[in-house]
């Protein structure tokens, strides 16, 4: 009963001044069409109602921090059926004042175990919280000389990808997706489209690193796995859709079909 009532409780309105400040700080949000912005604002308010923000290492969560994250996090699910249900496997969002050092263990090809610390600016765990470094969240609003870095969209793209239990660059797809009759055919279609784009990106990144070729548009980190390629590509798709369509001619229609079902291309 209580739960049912809570579900009905309307999310509080985001105050106009705070909303305008968020759009000014993240111009790629402000550039969305007016009807999308209205929906973005409503969804961000519901997101703020559903999620719990925690400051790490003494970081204080302000309205600016929470709203900056909410407004960007809901963009990928804006047109997805079920919208915020894509994020219902977790409640906590941990915000740190800087990048966070986290212990890692890796086993190399010779079977030697390496333990080391990695500095991370964000992390998404399956059925667990999302961690974000605040200065890097803020950088998401300032694409310098065409480079894209948007840690919020990156981590929430991982959340969407991992809904089916795997971080493999393929989110769960419905039957009928892109004209594919079954879910497994949809998945095969997704991989047939994503993998060649990933291979081409990897090759360009390797040639740039080893032989001084022209570096690819997106962060070379995208070359580390299909899951990272998907998350980095999502950053670009949402932050600079026009250039994304030029650079990734095969991925843009695929992403449109998933993120904007039934709508005109971005
Ligand atoms: Zn990642």
Residues 6+ apart with CB under 8 A from 18: 63, 64, 67
Average pLDDT across the chain, whole number: 92
Q: How far is the CA of 149 from the centre of ligand 1 (A)?
A: 11
- Per-residue CA distances from 50 to 37, 45, 90, 91, 115 (Å): 20, 9, 10, 7, 37
Q: How far is the CA of 156 from the centre of ligand 1 (A)?
A: 9
Q: How far is the CA of 222 from the centre of ligand 1 (A)?
A: 8
Can you point out the beta strands (E) in 91-216?
92-96, 100-107, 113-120, 122-124, 130-133
Q: How far is the CA of 153 from the centre of ligand 1 (A)?
A: 10
Taking only the tens place, the pLDDT of each residue in 13-47 is 899 999 999 999 999 999 999 999 999 999 999 99
What SS3 string covers 90-123? Answer: CCEEEEECCCEEEEEEEECCCCCEEEEEEEECEE
User: How much of the chain, in percent, has pLDDT values that exceed 90?
Assistant: 79
Between CA 118 and CA 1 the distance in angstroms is 46
**Among 159, 36, 59, 80, CA closest to 151:** 159
Average pLDDT (77-96) is 97
């Amino acid at each position: 009963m209580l739960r049912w009532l809570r579900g009905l409780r309307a999310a509080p309105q985001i105050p106009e001044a705070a909303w305008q400040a968020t759009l000014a700080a993240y111009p790629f949000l402000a550039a969305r069409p007016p009807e999308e912005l209205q929906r973005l604002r409503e969804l961000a308010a519901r997101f703020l109602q559903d999620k719990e923000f925690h400051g790490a290492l003494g970081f204080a969560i302000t309205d600016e921090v929470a709203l900056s994250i909410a407004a960007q996090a809901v963009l990928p699910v804006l047109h997805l059926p079920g919208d915020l249900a894509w994020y219902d496997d977790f409640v906590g969002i941990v915000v740190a004042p800087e990048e966070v050092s986290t212990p890692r263990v890796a086993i190399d090809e010779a079977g030697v175990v390496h333990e080391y610390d990695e500095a991370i600016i964000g992390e998404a765990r399956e059925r667990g919280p999302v961690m974000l470094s605040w200065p890097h969240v803020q950088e998401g609003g300032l694409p310098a000389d065409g480079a894209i870095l948007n840690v919020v969209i990156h981590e929430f793209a991982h959340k969407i990808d991992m809904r089916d239990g795997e971080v493999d660059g393929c989110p769960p797809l419905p039957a009928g997706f892109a004209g594919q009759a079954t879910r497994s055919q949809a998945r095969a279609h997704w991989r047939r489209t994503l993998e060649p784009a990933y291979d081409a990106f990897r090759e360009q990144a390797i040639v740039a690193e080893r032989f001084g070729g022209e570096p690819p548009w997106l962060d070379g980190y995208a070359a580390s796995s299909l899951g990272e390629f998907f998350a980095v590509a999502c950053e670009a798709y949402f932050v600079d859709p026009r250039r994304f369509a030029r650079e990734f001619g095969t991925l843009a229609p695929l992403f449109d079909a998933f993120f904007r079902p039934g709508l005109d291309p971005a």
